[in-house]
Amino acid sequence: MVAEEKKKWEWEISNQSSYWGTHFTEIWAYRHLLSSLVRRDFLVNYQQTILGPAWMLLQPVLTLVTYALIFGRLVGLSTGSLPPLLFYFSGIILWNFFNDSFGGTNNVFRDNTQVFNKVYFPRLVVPIAIMCTRFIRFGISLFLLLLMIGYYMAFKDFSPNFSSWLLALPVVVLAVGAMSLGLGLAFSVITAKYRDISGFVSLGTRLLMFATPVIYPVLSLPEDVRWIVHLNPLTPLFELFRLSLLGEGVVSYDMLFYSLAFSFLVLVVSLLLFNKKGDSLIDIV
């Protein structure tokens, strides 16, 4: 009898949930699910369209044309010394990356109720899969941006002053990714419980875009409103993105530290929250 009482159980389900939750070994065990979710996303999105995967390139280009017409021609916003198309496009692809990642991860529970209700797997697999697809899409857009920069350098007399800041590019991408995933996870938990908030979330992201130097450089702003934009932790990342690729942007180490710390903190806190609350949310979504 003593031996039986000491028996080890491989798993136990109780009302206790831990902040540390899912072990990474468990997610690793579901890596094939992750890759097939990524694959599914690409297959499903471009099924039965004539242009197929070309839409991945076409979407940012169409946005670029719209923005260039409205903000460049009609509103006449300054883009500093950079060619407007390059300026807008760099802003658009980074913003799209942030916005798509956040938009995808923030609806994880609502979009997957059906599956979450019927089978167990580490819930974190789904947001990670979403992030993977967004990284791939961003990579494709970035490639397009590099082609455009090459074109401008070859034919339009554009000579960006590349510096060692180019090495900061991966840091920017990772930080934006971390921040969008972090915010997405946090809001997925919050909106699953308090639905009303999702209305404010979509409004908030739209407002956030205007508080981020997507279509204007920070320097073009009047001094007295600049602090709002500087409060936004995305601002230094956008400026750094342009600085590294196009050679023009205003960023200080303090501000950079602020946004990196913010991204890291948001991601860690949200992961903990997601682990703690993720399993009990299925009762209420």
Partner 1 sequence: MSEIIIDVQNLSKMYRLGTIGTGSFRQDLQRWVSTNILKKEEPFFQGHGVNADGMDGNDLWALNNVSFDVKKGEVLGIIGNNGSGKSTLLKIISRIVRPTQGFVRGNGKVSSLLEVGTGFHNELTGRENIFISGYTLGMSRDEIRRKFDEIVAFSGIEKFIDTPVKRYSSGMYVRLAFSVAAHLEPDILIVDEVLAVGDNDFQKKCLGKMNEIAQTDGRTILFVSHSMQAVNTLCTKALWLQNGNVKEWGTANDIVNKYVASVQKHRLQQEWDTIENAPGNDNIRVKSVEIVPHLNNPNDMIDIRTALTFKFQFWNLQEHVNISARILLFSYTGECVFNVLSPIVNCFKPGILEGECTIPGNFLNDGSYYISMNFLKDSATHLLDFNECVSFDMEDYRGDLQWFGKWWGAVRPQFPVHLEQKEMVLDV
User: Which residues are near partner 1 by CB under 8 A?
Assistant: 9-15, 17, 30, 32-33, 36-37, 39-40, 43-44, 47-48, 115-121, 193-194, 279-280, 282-285
Closest to partner 1 by CB, 119 vs 167, is 119
The least CB distance from residue 267 to partner 1, in Å, is 25
User: Residue 139 Cβ, how far from partner 1 at the closest point, in Å?
Assistant: 23
Residue whose CB is less far from partner 1, 224 or 283: 283
Q: Is 79 helix (H, G, I), strand (E, B) or coil?
A: strand
Query: How many Å apart are CA 175 and CA 82, to the nearest integer?
Result: 24
Smaller CB distance to partner 1: residue 14 or 159?
A: 14
User: Rounded to the nearest 5°, which phi and psi values hold at 79?
Assistant: -120, 25
How far apart are CB 259 and partner 1 at their closest, in Å?
Answer: 30
Q: How far is the CB of 27 from partner 1 (least distance, A)?
A: 13
Among residues 136 and 279, whose Cβ is nearest to partner 1?
279
Q: How far is the CB of 42 from partner 1 (least distance, A)?
A: 11
Coil vs helix vs strand at 192: helix
Least Å from the CB of residue 203 to partner 1: 19
Q: Which is nearer to partner 1, 1 or 167 (CB)?
A: 1
Q: How far is CA 90 from CA 54, 84, 95, 121, 174, in A?
A: 19, 10, 9, 37, 16
Residue 43 vs 65, nearer CB to partner 1: 43
Residue pointed to by tokens 């997610």? 27
Exposure of 5 by Cβ count < 10 A (0-12 exposed, 13-18 middle, 19+ buried)?
exposed
3-state class of 81 per DSSP? strand
Closest by alpha carbon to 79, among 8, 158, 4? 158
As given in the structure block, the two tokens for residue 279 are 């399993």
